[in-house]
Chains A and B, each alone.
Chain A
Amino acid sequence: MSAIIALLSSDIVQTVLIGAALLGAISGMLGTFAVLRRQSLLGDALSHAALPGVCLGFLVAGGRDLGSVMLGAFVTGALAALIMMLIARRTTLKTDAALGIVLSVFFAVGIVLLTVIQTQGGSGSLGLMTFLFGQAAAILRSDLWIMGGVGLGALVLVLALWKEFKLVSFDADFARSQGFPVTLLEAVLTVMVALAIVVGLQLVGVILMVALLIAPAAAARQWTNSLGGMVLLSAAIGALSGAGGALVSATTRGLATGPVVVLIATVIVMISLLIAPGRGLVWQAAATRRARARISDGRVLATLQGFAQMHDDARYPSERGMLQVALGAKPPAATLASLESRGLIRSVTHPPETTPHWELTKAGHSEAATLSGTDHKKQSSE
């Protein structure tokens, strides 16, 4: 415990943690809109396309200067987005082909530029490799101001255009019919994807950036149905993954931050997909089970009721084999046991036979009548 406190009181660790949490929160917030607008893979393409920009920013500034690197990444990312839209709109190539082209060609150019920087040598070229997989430890205290500024700018943008973004994210056609400048808003949202990528690069690198964009938003989506809740939760999950990943990679030698952050975010997504109330898979499975049990209960009761009516004997004892013939399948013992424990049916012996038989109790009759209420009326009217 004291070791952790000692670690947390270190200036460097504090910087890294604050930076990572900040970056994760911004990416999580902006990623929400990308996921809702089904632009997840656009994020992947743009993050790869940021690599040549990172290299150019590095070459122009002559070193790892965060401002120029971010600007370069933003410029090539935005350029890639434009080319992507041009290809998708003006040719018959499908959107995913356009994404693939932009992603691979820009990345290839980035790789070429990377070797240019490496052959130039210099102490800073090592720091550049961290942009491939991210290295939170490379965050400097002075960088925090740039990140904070970008984050604040993104936050102001989201708050100022909240209603518009909401409408465009959920029903672009309706927004267009209401006279909103949809194309412009979509362009702003695309630019924000690029912005999210630029701020997240330091943390997880160009290759895994897509996960920091998608995973927090996908996890948040499972827990809430409101856009505000989703944005807040996504930012929180992003911050948590970022800070957690930074801490793990800072305390473990040789582990790049990006993969750790991505795995933490993935675990949060998996948990959310499984247990989120209402939507989660476990939740769904339980609901399906309950519904199935209810139907199965109802069918057994209805069959027993049918036999009773057929024989004009409210306490007509039916054997399991008879139920099987009527239902087309043997009713599970669990169903019978549960019905019996709820006092709807009663197990009786029916001499001379030795197998157990079941008859409806009074409660069972009224339950069967409510369940098959419509059937009953139809029968009587016929």
Chain B
Amino acid sequence: MIEAFFSAIPLMIMLTGVLTGISAALLGSFLILRGNAMLTDAISHSIVFGIIIVWLLTGQTSGPVQVLGAAITGVLTVVLSELLARSKLVKMDAAIGLVFPALFAAGVILISINARNVHLDVDSVLLGEIGFVWLNTVALLGVDVPVAVATLGAVLVVNLSFVLLLWKELKLATFDAGLAAALGFLPGVLHYAILTLTSVTAVAAFDAVGAILFIAFVVVPPATAYLLTRRLWLMVLLAVGFAVAAVISGYFLALHWNVSIGGMMASMTGVWFALALLFAPAQGLLAQALRARSERLDHDCRTLVAHLFTHQDTPAMAEENTLRALVDHLRWPAPRARAAVLRAHDRDLIERRDGLLSLRPKGKAEVEAIFGRSDT
């Protein structure tokens, strides 16, 4: 039963993706809230350098030494960038942009020089080979489990414990680093802990999705979740959900169109993001447009009732308190005037009496609120 599960290739590919997605989304939620998304970019490029250096030193392309090497390279990238920026010779963004391409370029050159001896090649650096994760297995408790699944499973346990155990500290350090420091929570240590774990996760996910697609899993699902909620725990949960959904839908679409599995999974994170960007209930572009329209209508309503009030019971009333006057005197286009009258009618602010528009009690109250009840 268990053996059948671990030898089912599609399941293993999806499991690898799901483990990657969850591990990345857990950390990514904090990274994007802290404004460190582009550090992930830098880290995931430069660990290529760490991987090849560790290989040159030890001959290993995976395992604990490799994880350690990647973690060191990842943190080194960030430290070097921060040192460079602190020297005031270049700005922080340029510092990041100088350090990681240099390390990445050095890594790629070392790979090409040693191409015949190492199974890493430039393609797998970029794309990963999630379709082949099942080729490389390890026996765990008598069951052959793909190495990637075992490593990523371990990484997930570490990341999950980190987030659960340090939840309060992470939350505080993310939203109020100053207070966290004052309370003695060492936000700097947490910062580097998150970045170290990101490097570790990146190297574990490397075989599966490659350097650049890893960034999609770190950044995009948490950003999608952030558009939907302001609660941290819900955001993390939603991020995990979007990552899993992207992995599974991406896998089937990739099979259907016969394209890169990792690429399709990462593309799907973008599809969820685009949907959230358009249709999120409060923050979505559509909701924003509707809100802006509704605010404009309310504003027109206020102008309308003010206009009616000014001319109420005056000789000009017959001429002014009509739809025509709104078009002629306020210079509103006819549809805008009609929409405002309808809206005011719906809100029970005005009524139509003897062919004229006049204020209802609620409309009078609104005018008084606008003019500040000067006449009572």
- Co-assembled chains A and B: yes
Q: Which residues of A contact B (CB under 8 A)?
A: 35, 38-41, 43-44, 48, 86-87, 90-94, 96-97, 99-101, 103-112, 114-116, 119, 132-133, 207-208, 210-211, 213-215, 217-218, 221-222, 254-256, 258-260, 262-263, 266, 269, 273, 279, 281
Say yes or no for B267: interface residue by CB 8 A criterion: yes
Contact of B90 among A100, A111, A218 (CB under 8 A): A218
Smallest CB–CB gap between B215 and chain A, Å?
A: 4
Complex: chain B residue closest to A205, CB-CB: B108
Provide the main secondary structure of the chain A interface.
helix
B260: Cβ under 8 A from any A Cβ: yes
Contact B288–A90 (Cβ < 8 Å): yes
Nearest chain B CB to A20 CB, angstrom units: 16
- Number of interface residues, chain B, beta carbon within 8 A: 59
Inter-chain contacts of B321 with A (CB < 8 A): none
Contact (Cβ within 8 A) B263 A255: no
Q: B37–A108 contact, CB under 8 A?
A: no
Which residue from chain A places its CB closest to the CB of B264 in the assembled complex?
A112
**Contacts of B97 on A, CB cut-off 8 Å?**
40-41, 43-44, 210-211, 213-214
Binding site for A on B (CB under 8 A): 32, 35-38, 40-41, 45, 84, 87, 89-91, 93-94, 96-98, 101-102, 104-106, 108-109, 112-113, 115, 122, 126-127, 212-213, 215-216, 218-220, 223, 226-227, 254, 257-260, 262-267, 269-270, 273, 277, 283, 285, 288
Give the CA-CA distance A259 to B111 in the complex, in Å. Answer: 11
Verify B267–A255 contact, CB threshold 8 A: no
Cβ contact of B223, chosen from A35, A93, A255, cutoff 8 A: A93
Q: Chain B nearest CB: distance from A221 CB in Å?
A: 7
Q: Rank and list the top 10 A-B pairs by shortest CB-CB distance, nearest first.
A: A105-B270, A108-B266, A111-B263, A104-B216, A211-B101, A100-B219, A100-B37, A259-B105, A262-B105, A266-B102
User: CB-CB < 8 A to A266: which residues of B?
Assistant: 98, 101-102, 105
How far does the Cβ of B370 sit from chain A's closest Cβ, in whole Å?
Answer: 30
What chain B residues lie within 8 Å of A218 (beta carbons)? 89-90, 94, 98
List the B side residues contacting A41 at CB < 8 Å: 38, 41, 93, 96-97
16 contacts between A and B (CB under 8 A): A41-B38, A43-B97, A90-B288, A94-B35, A100-B38, A100-B219, A101-B220, A108-B266, A110-B263, A114-B260, A115-B260, A132-B126, A211-B97, A221-B89, A254-B112, A262-B102
Min C-beta distance of B333 to chain A, whole Å: 27
